[in-house]
């Protein structure tokens, strides 16, 4: 993508006011900008109007104007005296159901200054989008959910600014990618129609908004860009992922699987894009598991057996506090391989490391004396069953998309695995448990947080932002609840790796 940032600065020398030319300060700036950029009109923000007079006079009629791309117009975000040399910063934000991640970016250099992750405070009102939509229908429920999202984002911004030793007023744009429900809740839009047939959202595309008006604590006048969605359940995070992977630009037939709370899957290339979403992936983000957690310091992110001994690695090399998505995938694969669980996920209590606590089978990952929490970190029978249900939903979604296109996994040249659940992934174990198909492993690529990557791409490129609008409008969405074969596919995938083992020939 062409690296012309979504916000940019220009330096102007403005003819000073006189009795012969009494045009307003804003009109003078407007004329100068439109002379340089005649392709579209220029609109001011209130912040820019407040700044223009003092900036012109303090700068001896030389000013630095920050402009934002809005599609049909340029927007003057700020006007500073010409000698102002402060860096230009922006935010790229992945507004996830479970976690929110933000990058502080120097827009002029493209450098990520610092990143930060936090749990979405909306978790107090439900772990998934359905429970939050139900809560939003209670008196003041929508306002409370909106406040929780804004509060989490602002806490992230405060931490970013502290780490970067930066005042929040220097952050002059924010780009947000999230699923459709999360973006509705951020803006205070009623999401109730999304959970009822025919699952129609209030909006799938959003104008460029004023970040401060939404409640985001950055520079006054800073624009807020929200990624367009394709439907109620195929959201802006998917659009951002497609932008980041360039699937929609290229010829190879590809699949993007976003292992998040909604479990979105997209099949396609530059000719077509076919997508679906299912309630899958929250277990792989640690939700609903006793020791599940996000990929934060202390999370087990790698796990394997070596000479009969369980070996693990944690994020930040800290003492274990729990286990994140990549660790969970590797744990299931390692336990299946060792016989600690069978193909239906049942724990084998006859093997070392497995026992029953209060009548509930579980497998010890790390004994208490090696943890930071002074308790055994375990994977319970119920946790394993949750993980199998989520992996079954993801695999079945891919199979349904392929069937509707008259294709099979053999036709797929690339599979991109996205998700904020660890910095790496053992592909072989993901295939072993039936999360991913049994295809040549070089076709499978783990790409991390594609939603955040897409948001950052858009922040740094006007062309990328415009391309995101085109991508969202070109996606065809399948509703799995009305797909006659979906339940059959889902049920068949509730085994490790699958009830039909001929689909996984290399694992025999």
d(CA 244, CA 447): 10
> Sheet harboring 322-323: ordered strands across?
309-314, 299-306, 322-323
| pLDDT-above-70 percentage for the chain | 98
For residue 198, is the peptide bond before it cis, meaning its omega torsion is within 30 degrees of 0? yes
* Mean of the per-residue pLDDT values of the chain: 94
| pLDDT-above-90 percentage for the chain | 89
d(CA 494, CA 255): 21
The predicted model scores a pTM of 0.95
Stretch 78-93: mean pLDDT, rounded? Answer: 93
State pLDDT tens for residues 3-47.
689 999 999 999 999 999 999 999 999 999 999 999 889 999 999
Residues 6+ apart with CB under 8 A from 216: 150, 153, 154, 157, 174, 222, 224
Greatest distance between any 2 Cα atoms in the chain: 96
Residue 281 has pLDDT above 70, yes or no: no
CB 44 within 8 A of CB 28: no
Stretch 278-293: mean pLDDT, rounded? Answer: 83
Q: What pLDDT does residue 3 have?
A: 66
Kindly tell me the sign of the dihedral angle through the C-alpha atoms of 293, 420, 277, 194.
Answer: positive
Residue 2 has pLDDT above 60, yes or no: no
State pLDDT tens for residues 153-163.
999 999 999 99
End-to-end CA distance of the chain: 44
Q: What pLDDT does residue 283 have?
A: 85
d(CA 457, CA 114): 16
CB 391 within 8 A of CB 435: yes
d(CA 182, CA 226): 11
State pLDDT tens for residues 404-430.
999 999 999 999 999 877 667 889 999
d(CA 121, CA 29): 43
Stretch 494-499: mean pLDDT, rounded? Answer: 97
Q: What pLDDT does residue 231 have?
A: 96
Residue with tokens 């230009």, as numbered in its chain: 88
Q: How far is CA 288 from CA 25, 128, 488, in A?
A: 58, 10, 25
Burial class (CB in 10 A: 0-12, 13-18, 19+), 428: middle
DSSP assigned state of 271: S
State pLDDT tens for residues 125-162.
998 899 999 999 999 999 999 999 999 999 999 999 99
Q: What pLDDT does residue 404 have?
A: 96
Residues 6+ apart with CB under 8 A from 170: 86, 87, 88, 89, 219
CA-wise closest residue to 67 among 93, 92, 41: 41
Residue 64 DSSP SS3: strand
State pLDDT tens for residues 158-177.
999 999 999 999 999 999 99
Beta strands 309-314 and 322-323, pairing class: unpaired
CB 387 within 8 A of CB 365: no
Residue 91 has pLDDT above 50, yes or no: yes
State pLDDT tens for residues 479-489.
998 898 999 99
* Phi, psi of 240, deg, nearest 5: -65, -40
Q: Does domain 7-81 have CATH number 3.10.20.880?
A: yes
Number of helical (H) and strand (E) elements in the chain, helices listed first:
13, 22
Q: What pLDDT does residue 481 have?
A: 86
d(CA 464, CA 245): 12
d(CA 264, CA 230): 12
Stretch 439-451: mean pLDDT, rounded? Answer: 95
Q: What pLDDT does residue 86 have?
A: 87
Stretch 234-256: mean pLDDT, rounded? Answer: 97
The dotted CATH code for 89-226 is 3.30.420.480
CA-wise closest residue to 503 among 386, 402, 356, 417: 402
CA-wise closest residue to 429 among 387, 381, 371: 387
Residue 1 has pLDDT above 50, yes or no: no
Beta strands 99-106 and 7-13, pairing class: unpaired
CB 257 within 8 A of CB 245: no
Secondary element (H or E) of residue 497: none
d(CA 97, CA 32): 44
Secondary element (H or E) of residue 334: helix 325-338
In three-state form (DSSP H/G/I as H, E/B as E, the rest C), the secondary structure along 203-255 is CCCCCCEEHHHHCCCCCCCCEEEECCCCCCCCCHHHHHHHHHHCHHHCCCCEE
Residue 260 has pLDDT above 90, yes or no: no
| Domain range summary for the chain, segments of one domain joined by + | 7-81, 89-226, 246-280+401-507, 283-386
d(CA 442, CA 255): 14
Residue 451 has pLDDT above 60, yes or no: yes
DSSP states of 48-115: HHHHHHHHHHHTTTEEEEEEEE-SSSEEEEEEEETT-----EEEEEEE-SSEEEEEEEETTT--EEEE
Stretch 50-65: mean pLDDT, rounded? Answer: 96
């Amino acid at each position: 993508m062409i690296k012309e940032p979504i916000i940019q600065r220009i330096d102007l020398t403005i003819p000073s006011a006189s009795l012969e030319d009494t045009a307003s300060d804003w009109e003078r700036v407007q004329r100068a900008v439109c002379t340089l950029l005649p392709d579209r009109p220029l609109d001011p923000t209130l912040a820019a109007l407040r700044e223009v007079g003092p900036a012109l006079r303090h700068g001896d009629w030389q000013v630095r104007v920050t402009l934002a791309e809005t599609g049909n117009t340029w927007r003057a975000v700020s006007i500073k005296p010409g000698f102002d040399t402060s860096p230009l910063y922006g935010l790229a934000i992945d507004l996830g159901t479970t976690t929110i991640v933000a990058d502080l970016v120097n827009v002029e250099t493209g450098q990520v200054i610092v990143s930060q992750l936090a749990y979405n405070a909306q978790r107090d009102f439900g772990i998934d989008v359905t429970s939050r939509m139900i809560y939003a229908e209670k008196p003041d429920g929508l306002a409370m959910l909106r406040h929780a999202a804004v509060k989490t984002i602002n806490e992230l911004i405060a931490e970013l600014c502290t780490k970067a030793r930066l005042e929040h007023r220097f952050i002059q744009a924010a780009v947000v990618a999230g699923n459709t429900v999360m973006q509705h809740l951020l803006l205070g839009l009623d999401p109730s129609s999304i959970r009822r047939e025919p699952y129609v959202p209030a909006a799938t595309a959003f104008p460029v908004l004023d970040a401060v008006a939404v409640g985001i604590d950055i520079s006054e006048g800073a624009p807020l860009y929200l990624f367009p969605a394709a439907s109620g359940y195929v959201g802006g995070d998917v659009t951002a992922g497609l932008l980041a992977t360039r699937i929609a630009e290229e010829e190879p037939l590809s699949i993007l699987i976003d292992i998040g709370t909604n479990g979105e899957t997209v099949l396609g290339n530059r000719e077509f894009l076919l997508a679906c979403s299912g309630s899958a992936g929250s277990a792989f983000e640690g939700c609903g598991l006793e020791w599940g957690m996000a990929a934060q310091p202390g999370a087990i992110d790698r796990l394997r057996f070596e000479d009969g001994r369980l070996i693990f690695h944690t994020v930040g090399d800290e003492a274990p506090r729990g286990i994140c998505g990549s660790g969970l995938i590797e744990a299931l694969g390692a336990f299946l391989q060792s016989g600690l669980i069978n193909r239906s996920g049942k724990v084998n209590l006859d093997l070392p490391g497995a026992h029953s606590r209060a009548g509930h089978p579980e497998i010890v990952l790390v004994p208490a004396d090696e943890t930071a929490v002074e308790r055994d970190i375990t994977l319970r029978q119920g946790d394993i069953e949750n993980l199998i249900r989520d992996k079954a939903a993801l695999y079945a979604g891919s199979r349904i998309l392929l069937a509707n296109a008259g294709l099979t996994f053999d036709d797929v040249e690339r599979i991109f695995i996205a998700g904020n659940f660890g910095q790496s992934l053992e592909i072989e174990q993901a295939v072993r448990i039936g999360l991913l198909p049994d295809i040549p492993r070089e076709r499978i690529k783990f790409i991390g947080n594609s939603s955040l990557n897409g948001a950052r791409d858009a922040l740094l490129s006007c062309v990328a932002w415009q391309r995101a609008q085109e991508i969202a409008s070109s996606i065809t969405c399948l509703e799995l609840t009305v797909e006659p074969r979906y339940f059959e596919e889902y049920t068949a995938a509730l085994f490790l790796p699958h009830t039909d083992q001929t689909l996984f020939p290399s694992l025999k």
